[in-house]
Amino acid sequence: MKRIPFFDYRAHFGRDEEGFLKVIRDVCARGAFILQRDLEEFERRLAEFVGVRHAIGVGNGTDAIWIGLMAVGVGPGDEVILPSHTFVATAAAVKLVGATPILADIGPDRMVDPASVEAAITPRTKAILPVQLNGRTCDMDALHEIADRHGLMIVEDAAQALGSRFRGRCAGTFGRFGTISFYPAKLLGCFGDGGAVLTNDDEVADRIHALRDHGRSRNGEVVSWGFNSRLDNLQAALLNYQLRRYPDVIERRRAIAMRYHERLADVAELGLPPAPDADPRHFDVYQNYEIEADRRDVLRDYLAERGVQTHIQWGGRPVHGYRALGFDGVRLPRTEAFFERCLLLPMNPFLTDDDVDYVCDCIRAFYGYGS
């Protein structure tokens, strides 16, 4: 029996221990801990990678969203439409700037449904906040058409989608700003918390620079009230080191996704995410490999008994499923049905082909299919 962790945090460091230690020793020997050249270089290279004018490192992916919302003027009295199929942090960022999160349903692609978004628009709506989930980008053509017709801005939570593209354009670059998370298990992960805001708007970038650093402008003058949410320079150096090989990480994730698809596509009891070559408009990077499964909980126990760790995203609840947050009466049938069946299989670049085959063999055996 194999043992396949959902994500091997130790392997994140152990696969290149000497390389990471070299980066750490260099930064520490220079005493370069806060807002130093390593952060500036990483921000520049990240902006080049996704194709925007500005990338600003902040403390984490949640801070990235609420600082971005503040920078574009979203606040009390405003409504922001976002999918309920997301981590609670997306909605919390809206709430914490004084605005109201309005939750939309998902479509057949499991991403936010443009029709549900449009149905939720009111005179108070200020922004649409698509969440680019699991390494896939939403149908941004449809969302832009709605936003333009109603005079709304688009802002993006692309925490799980660094390098994902729709019609050749990277997630996080479609709106006034986009955000990325560098949580350790993310596509590009640091050794703690970290995030970034992406934008092509020079004024928004200036506001974010001030908001993340106590209201200080780039020349050090206090120009507004602000916070302390700076991406740690040591983490930036480690991210910058990893960014050099990030295209290889994406390639490996896409190869794993294709292997899952080839081995599981004939299992009628499953719903799989689109294969890497399924739609030429989309370039998916597979932060997660999220399936739908009949008898999901029994399957999960069966896999665990055979050493395969799986995960149900966000505790098995969409945002409107948390009663304490006050979404009583919200009904989103496709989202609710999805959360009865969704399951994340292991998906990370540390997996071998044999690991993937073992997971698939176990799933096929559970449903009574031959290898």
pLDDT of residue 35: 94
Whether residue 306 is found in the same domain as residue 359: yes
Residue 131 has pLDDT above 90, yes or no: yes
Tens digits of per-residue pLDDT, 88-121? 999 999 999 999 999 999 999 999 999 999 999 9
Whether residue 223 is found in the same domain as residue 353: no
Whether residue 211 is found in the same domain as residue 317: no
In the chain the beta strands, taken as DSSP E runs, fall at 54-58, 79-83, 100-104, 125-128, 153-157, 165-166, 169-170, 177-181, 195-199, 270-271, 282-283, 289-293, 342-345
Whether residue 254 is found in the same domain as residue 238: no
The CATH number covering residue 270 comes to 3.90.1150.10
Tens digits of per-residue pLDDT, 35-61? 999 999 999 999 999 999 999 999 999
For residue 16, what are its two tokens? 């290149």
Residues of the domain holding 27? 10-243
- Determine the average pLDDT of the residues in 205-224: 95
Give long-range contacts, CB 8 A cutoff, 24+ apart: 320-324. Answer: 320/84, 320/103, 321/84, 322/88
Whether residue 36 is found in the same domain as residue 166: yes
Nearest to 349 by CA among 241, 235, 273, 251: 251
pLDDT of residue 340: 97
pLDDT band at 313 (very low <50, low <70, confident <90, very high): very high
Whether residue 15 is found in the same domain as residue 151: yes
Q: How many distinct structural domains can be found in the chain? A: 2
Residue 371 has pLDDT above 80, yes or no: no
Residue 256 has pLDDT above 80, yes or no: yes
pLDDT of residue 370: 80
d(CA 251, CA 253): 6
Residue 1 has pLDDT above 90, yes or no: no
Q: To the nearest whole percent, how much of the chain has pLDDT over 90? A: 96
φ, ψ of residue 308 to 5 degrees: the values are: -100, 115
Nearest to 112 by CA among 78, 89, 79, 146: 146
The CATH number covering residue 167 comes to 3.40.640.10
- Determine the average pLDDT of the residues in 1-15: 91
What separation in angstroms does the CA of 65 have from each of 195, 315, 342?
A: 9, 21, 26
Q: Can you name the residues that pair with 153 across neighbouring β-strands? A: 127
d(CA 368, CA 361): 10
Whether residue 203 is found in the same domain as residue 285: no
